[in-house]
Structure 1
Amino acid sequence: MFSAYFNGAFVTCDEPVIPIDERGHQFGDGVYEVIRVYNGQPFMLDEHIERLYQSAAAIKLCVDSDQDTLKDSIWNLIHKSGLSSLDLYVQITRGIAPRNHLFPERPVSISMTAKPFRHISSVGEKGAGVTLHPDERWENCYIKSLNLLPNILAKQTAHEKGFLEAVLVRNGKVTEGTSSNVFIVQDSSIITTPLSKHILSGITRMAVKSIAEDAGIPLIERHFSPEEMIQSDELFITSTTLEIMPIYWVDNHLISEGKKGTVTRVIQELFDRRK
């Protein structure tokens, strides 16, 4: 079965198809999305593709294919992969051209991979934990770009400490995780960092907002400090691959007595119904 796509051709993931002068390889000059597919159905596909094109526009990347054409290619790859549950990565770069910082007048490159998704449960005997880390990224984190080195370094630091994720802090306030959005619960209300250029508008974050509204759970978008996060009643992070992940530890601080909180449990259960 084919598990990848590059510029109109369906291939296998181990085929060498990316030229050395591909600008995604040379400069990280591109944007991407990760779409989870449940039982053959891509979850919140329209929202993912809309965000992909918004990211492309933000870096002045002109995509020749319209959204419907790209969606057709996604559906074709899902079918050709032979998988019903998978993670599908879509990447658009500024194309193949001799190395030069200036934009080339060349067509963009579109590549995709389809692989079985990994079920990530709470990590270890202590449950899932996070570590606090300075937010050392650039100013435009709302763009889902390929330039992820600061995220990778922070995630590796968390891993080496035995934690699932690093929660990033800028100017004394929590922004987000290296690949997740952060939610705290206080007095049965959900609180999350408001959208700005410093955080990504997560697709699962969108789902949580909708779920909370339908369930009548107050959701407040405001900044909060690491101290407030540590003292919260409940804490969870969200992403396409983590879904709704309860967090029980922030460094050496125990959250929610190391147990899944009521609000987190409700959000998880209602999210599972939407898949």
Structure 2
Amino acid sequence: MYFYKNEFMNKADIQLSPDDRGYYFGDGIYEVFRVYQGQIYEQEAHLQRLQRTASEVRLTLPFTLHRIGQILTELVDKNKLLEGTVYMQITRGEAPRAHPFPAQAEPIMLAYCTEVPRPVATIHNGIKAITFADIRWLRCDLKTLNLLPNVMAKQAALDHGVQEVVLHREGTVTECSASNVMMIKDGALYTHPANHLILHGITRAVVLRLAHSLEIPVKEEAFTTEQLLAADEAFITGTTVEITPILEVDGHAIGAGTPGAFTRKLQEEFVRTFS
């Protein structure tokens, strides 16, 4: 069961218009929600980010945030989803192809569920990564449909036989292709500040709260690829990856090359937030 425009319907009954601005301009925004035990995790935080992105790109939401929340909850219930994700996007609507905002187009919402188990093995065992130049636009804090640079980065990782890329701007680490990145050095947690160069990750925010509760010093400041390679521990955070250790970057082991003690403690605390 999907939600499209104004109603719930089967996927086969959805008719996407070739005039949808999301198709030819990527003119739209999106969110991905994690579902644990039939409940949408951090729903309010996701909706607030959706509102912020919509305001920044001057896109009027088709429903109130409260109503969108109701729709997503109903979608989870209709699909009897216990563990997985909810994807939703809102485009500026249908209009003849022209760059200016259309005067009459009405925003279109699409949402659906996917049953996806937690990637327990990857979370436990960790991943390898490579560094990759961050050549995206300068509003990475907005969760828009313009994801081709992220797609290219992720493919570069797979082409090199690893699972993720660590993006950097002239040596300054920003984030990854589909996640935020953090490192531990001398007992402190470091992550790039939440400015226009990174997405303000929901899981990122949860992890920072957990770090504070565990009395782990948090430093929201930029660090370099060289500092990352010299870190004691490193991990990525994201809705679908939770907290996943990084074992190796560019062939160099991070710390001992195994998931670190701080990472493990944060993982344990994270699980407690939804179990």
Structure-1-length-normalised TM-score: 0.95
Partner of 2:85: 87
Alpha-carbon offset, residue 13 of structure 1 = 3.4
Alpha-carbon offset, residue 255 of structure 1 = 1.3
Alpha-carbon offset, residue 19 of structure 1 = 1.2
Counterpart AA for 2:52 = Q
1:51 is aligned, of 49, 52, 63, to: 49
In the alignment, is residue 190 of structure 1 matched against residue 160 of structure 2? Answer: no
Counterpart AA for 2:131 = L
Query: 2 CA distance for matches of 1:7 and 1:173?
Result: 41
Q: Secondary structure at the match of 2:195?
A: coil
Partner of 2:9: 11
Alpha-carbon offset, residue 228 of structure 1 = 0.4
Counterpart AA for 1:110 = M
Partner of 2:115: 116
Query: 2 CA distance for matches of 1:174 and 1:224?
Result: 6
CA RMSD of aligned residues (A): 1.6
Alpha-carbon offset, residue 18 of structure 1 = 1.4
Query: 2 CA distance for matches of 1:13 and 1:189?
Result: 47
Counterpart AA for 2:151 = I
Query: 2 CA distance for matches of 1:15 and 1:182?
Result: 40
Query: 2 CA distance for matches of 1:162 and 1:228?
Result: 23
Pick closer, same or farther for the CA change 1:67–1:219 going to 2, 3 Å.
Answer: same
Q: Secondary structure at the match of 1:205?
A: helix
Query: 2 CA distance for matches of 1:117 and 1:81?
Result: 13
Alpha-carbon offset, residue 120 of structure 1 = 2.7
Deviations 1:213-252 (A, max 9, x none): 1111111111100010011000000000000000101011
Counterpart AA for 2:211 = A
Query: 2 CA distance for matches of 1:143 and 1:43?
Result: 20
Q: Which runs of 4+ in 1 moved over 6 A?
A: none
Partner of 1:166: 165
Partner of 2:273: 274
Alpha-carbon offset, residue 110 of structure 1 = 0.5
Query: 2 CA distance for matches of 1:16 and 1:115?
Result: 17
In the alignment, is residue 23 of structure 1 matched against residue 21 of structure 2? Answer: yes
Q: Which moved more, 1:173-182 or 1:6-15?
A: 6-15
Query: 2 CA distance for matches of 1:217 and 1:32?
Result: 32
Counterpart AA for 1:178 = S
Query: 1 CA distance for matches of 2:242 and 2:20?
Result: 32
Counterpart AA for 2:43 = L
Q: Secondary structure at the match of 2:11?
A: coil
Could you tell me which runs of 5 or more consecutive residues in structure 2 were left unpaired when the two chains were aligned: none
Query: 1 CA distance for matches of 2:36 and 2:90?
Result: 23
Q: Secondary structure at the match of 1:247?
A: strand
Counterpart AA for 2:57 = I
Q: Is the 8 A contact 1:127 1:258 kept in 2?
A: no
In the alignment, is residue 154 of structure 1 matched against residue 153 of structure 2? Answer: yes
Between the aligned residues of both structures, percent identity stands at 38
Query: 1 CA distance for matches of 2:253 and 2:13?
Result: 46
Deviations 1:76-128 (A, max 9, x none): 101111111120011011011121111112210011010112433555xx841
Query: 1 CA distance for matches of 2:97 and 2:271?
Result: 46
Query: 2 CA distance for matches of 1:195 and 1:127?
Result: 25
Could you tell me which runs of 5 or more consecutive residues in structure 1 were left unpaired when the two chains were aligned: none
Q: Is the 8 A contact 2:38 2:80 kept in 1?
A: no
Counterpart AA for 1:7 = K
Query: 2 CA distance for matches of 1:256 and 1:232?
Result: 6
In the alignment, is residue 234 of structure 1 matched against residue 233 of structure 2? Answer: yes
Q: Secondary structure at the match of 2:256?
A: helix
Q: Secondary structure at the match of 2:183?
A: strand
Partner of 1:99: 97
Pick closer, same or farther for the CA change 1:122–1:177 going to 2, 3 Å.
Answer: farther
Alpha-carbon offset, residue 9 of structure 1 = 1.8
Q: Is the 8 A contact 2:34 2:41 kept in 1?
A: yes
Alpha-carbon offset, residue 11 of structure 1 = 2.2
Q: Secondary structure at the match of 2:32?
A: strand
Pick closer, same or farther for the CA change 1:227–1:121 going to 2, 3 Å.
Answer: farther
